[in-house]
Amino acid sequence: MRIPYTGPLPPPIIVPRNANTTTGAISALTKFLFAPSTPRLSPAARTHAHTVLLTGAGVSVASGLADYRGTAGTYTLNKTYRPIYYNEFIFNHEARKRYWARSFLGWTNLHKARPNNAHLAIRELGKQGLVSTVITQNVDSFHPIAHPDLPTVELHGYLRSLVCIHCGNHLPRKDFQQSLSKLNPQWAAFLAEILETGALDSEHPDERRKRGLKTNPDGDVDVPGAPYTTFKYPACPACLASPPILSDGSRSIVELDANGAWSPRSTAGVLKPAVVMFGESIAAEIKTAAEEAVDNASKILVIGSSLATYSAWRLVKRAKERSMPIGVLNLGGVRGEESFYGKSNIGNDGSLGVRCSESADKILPLVVRNFELTATTG
């Protein structure tokens, strides 16, 4: 995944003009989803009268998770924040200690969080046959939990599992959390303390900062000045039981230190979250699945994403090149949105394209209700 676009985003372009109110946005989104395939599509594409959704961090904010570029997002409030990069994680033992310590602190609340009304509304849209597939940039697993019968392409992976970078073994994240607790009793006591105070439950960033905590997307909690270098993490159990053969043909070394943690003397056995880190390539089969989801739909609706990552932006670009109507439901600006609509605002009631700046968890349930009323009245 490429480094995200960090330039200033333009103010939202509201399309159609009456979508600048909640009532107008509901009407425009309903017409966008309900509209038949546009004649501008090829005859083959017009046979797929479904919408593909592309969702981002904004759709999970109502579940209590941090986003990147919202009014209380990490990039808005913490200008110095930078996520870990793939090569750092792979080659730097100290970087892994820091990553796992911060993930250890953030995992409990991420694990307790649940899908919100936006996810549930998407499930209903799928049941109505209006949505064919969801492509999500999120790694919180809320989409497959909320709508298991509606296909989800997890573009950037998921946090519910870990994968060994040497043998490919998968391990549930909840089991890994238990291992981290056993290896780091002082950190576990600190986590219990901050959970007891409710510091991680506060949705007000000022309250978290008073307690010295910085919460970031994807279950990352930073405690400035914390002794990250003391943190320990386990080795891959599969590699420990049977050290794999390395690319040079030699047998790897997988050792534990005196505390039972992965030893830096090891040449294998490193577990990584099953997410696509910045600087890491998206698996070919996932890229293909996302592209096919776009190609097999008649329109695309972006929800809760500023399209700052190229992996997401290129999918909307692909839809644009195929003359598919584009919809965006996102608070604040979106990368390149000025190129999405052109003259579609002239005489457009939302059927040819829609751009709303509303909260997904508030607006989507109302869109579902409006669609049901429209379908009932014919």
Nearest to 269 by CA among 177, 174, 163: 163
Listed in sequence order, the residues at least 6 apart from 338 whose beta carbon sits closer than 8 Å to its beta carbon are 10, 13
Cα 156 to the center of its chain, rounded Å: 7
DSSP 85: B
156 catalytically annotated: yes
Strands (DSSP E) found in 209-315: 214-216, 220-222, 271-275, 299-303
Cβ atoms of 159 and 218 within 8 Å: the answer is yes
Distance CA 133, CA 294 (A): 9
Nearest to 183 by CA among 132, 147, 241, 231: 231
Sign, CA torsion 128/134/139/141: positive
**Would you say how long the chain is, in residues?**
378
Distance CA 205, CA 79 (A): 14
Burial 36-45 (b: 16+ CB within 10 A, else e): ebbeebeeeb
Listed in sequence order, the residues at least 6 apart from 341 whose beta carbon sits closer than 8 Å to its beta carbon are 13, 15, 326, 353, 355
Catalytic residue among 143, 147, 156, 166: 156
Give catalytic residues, as residue numbers: 156
